[in-house]
Amino acid sequence: MTGMTSTGHTPAVTPTPDAEPGPGHGRTRAFASGLPPLTLGAEEEFLLVDPVSRELRAEAGPVVAEAAKELGDRVGPEITRYQVETRTVPHSSLAGFADQIRATRRCLGGAAARRGLRIISSGTPVTAPPGPPPLTDDARYSRSAAQFRALDDEQIACACHIHIGVPDLATALEISNRLRPWIPVLIALSANSPYWAGRDTGYASWRTTTWGRWPVAGPPPYFESPSHFEDLVAGFLATGAILDRGGLYWDIRPSHHVPTLEFRAADATATADDTVLLAGLVRAMTATALSAADAKEPVPRPAPDLLRAACWRAARDGIAGDLIDPATGRLVPATRHVDGLLARLRPALDHHGDTELVDRLWSRLRDHGSRADAQRAVHRRRGRLADVVDHLIAGATAQTV
């Protein structure tokens, strides 16, 4: 994957007590009035489909070339020729970020249409031809296929990656350690991949399960220090578990090429609204983690096996079911868990001016149900997967924020 360009800040924070604990944490902290906003950005991955057959089309090269006339280097190929990736610039304003996400999707959709195609934003393809997908002609992707073999056969999966600006590796790892317990919530919120190659998997996020098969994927470990992180990476490189630092497929990772912390747990989001909601939440989570670190609050350390199980449960049911709270091991209704997260994040959301927009987008998603449920609801009406593809085509460029 290629990446966005971003810068970050590590502000000094003066915590004050607030309400609403989160997994493994004490009480929420407020923020100093002079705190500069954290920067945010995103990478979004899309699939190309034929509007008549609704099948995937391996024409990423021509579509990227067409879109690049307007987007420049903010659009590029992905591992398969079915996929296209777009990137934002760094933003301090969530509203400005939302405007760019909408404009970029509109531009890419137009470029695909001029090639007789459409874009969809789903974690997995609704339908797909049998056999390995056609890989993009790139030396790194060729090395990946040779090294990881059939694992690359399932890389038609698409994600939405949110980047938050941070100044250094130590800060990134501190935030990663503190936010690991919230990964299941991000998976549940963004779940948008119930179908895989023509069948209903029974999961809300099948993409999450496919990515979990990679040697270095899923929730990141607890990092004792930057040297601990570097030692792990060196071991992965020496043993061939990753090709390079870009092969660290953890759900949260320090970016290997820009000064950001990258959140990778989310499926490709069905609409621009979903990407904006995700970005607003992730930025507030990061700011809250920085506040907790400044206050020297204890770092939560859920058992790795329990956290992995919590991610599985989130991928299976999304926000329609119950989530495992990694702090207690108990099941909690997913919507109630998200509401608790929002309450905990309120000071950070208020500080960034994001509260109203995030509340509105979450209320809409909660009231209408998950994007995975929406795909299934469309299919139930007539039993046609083509209708699901049409639904995703409409959502990919909808301008509804």
Please report the pLDDT score of residue 142 as a whole number. Answer: 87
- Flag whether 232 is in a domain: yes
Beta carbons within 8 Å of 368's beta carbon, 6+ residues apart:
374
Radius of gyration of the chain (CA): 20
Domain around 164:
40-396
- Flag whether 11 is in a domain: no
Contact 39, 6 (CB under 8 A): yes
Contact 105, 84 (CB under 8 A): no
Q: Is the predicted pLDDT of residue 295 greater than 60, yes or no? A: yes
Instruction: Give the pLDDT confidence of 209-247 residue by residue, as tens digits.
Output: 999 999 999 999 999 999 999 999 999 999 999 999 999
Q: How many CB atoms within 10 Å of residue 399?
A: 11
Instruction: Give the pLDDT confidence of 305-317 residue by residue, as tens digits.
Output: 999 999 999 999 9
Tell me whether strands 199-200 and 118-120 are parallel, antiparallel or unpaired.
Answer: unpaired
Instruction: Give the pLDDT confidence of 6-52 residue by residue, as tens digits.
Output: 333 333 222 222 333 344 444 444 444 446 789 999 999 999 999 99
Q: Is the predicted pLDDT of residue 140 greater than 80, yes or no? A: yes
Instruction: Give the pLDDT confidence of 310-366 residue by residue, as tens digits.
Output: 999 999 999 999 999 988 999 999 999 999 999 999 999 999 999 999 999 999 999
Contact 31, 287 (CB under 8 A): yes
Please report the pLDDT score of residue 93 as a whole number. Answer: 96
- Flag whether 356 is in a domain: yes
Of the CA atoms within 13 Å of residue 40, those in its CB half-sphere come to 30
Give the model's confidence band at 401: pLDDT under 50 very low, under 70 low, under 90 confident, else very high: low
Whole-model pTM: value is 0.92
Give the model's confidence band at 197: pLDDT under 50 very low, under 70 low, under 90 confident, else very high: confident
- Flag whether 14 is in a domain: no
CATH number of the domain at 279, please: 3.30.590.20
For the chain, what is the mean pLDDT?
90
- Flag whether 336 is in a domain: yes
- Flag whether 31 is in a domain: no
Contact 127, 50 (CB under 8 A): no
Number of domains making up the chain? 1
Instruction: Give the pLDDT confidence of 74-131 residue by residue, as tens digits.
Output: 999 999 999 999 999 999 999 999 999 999 999 999 999 999 999 999 999 999 998 8
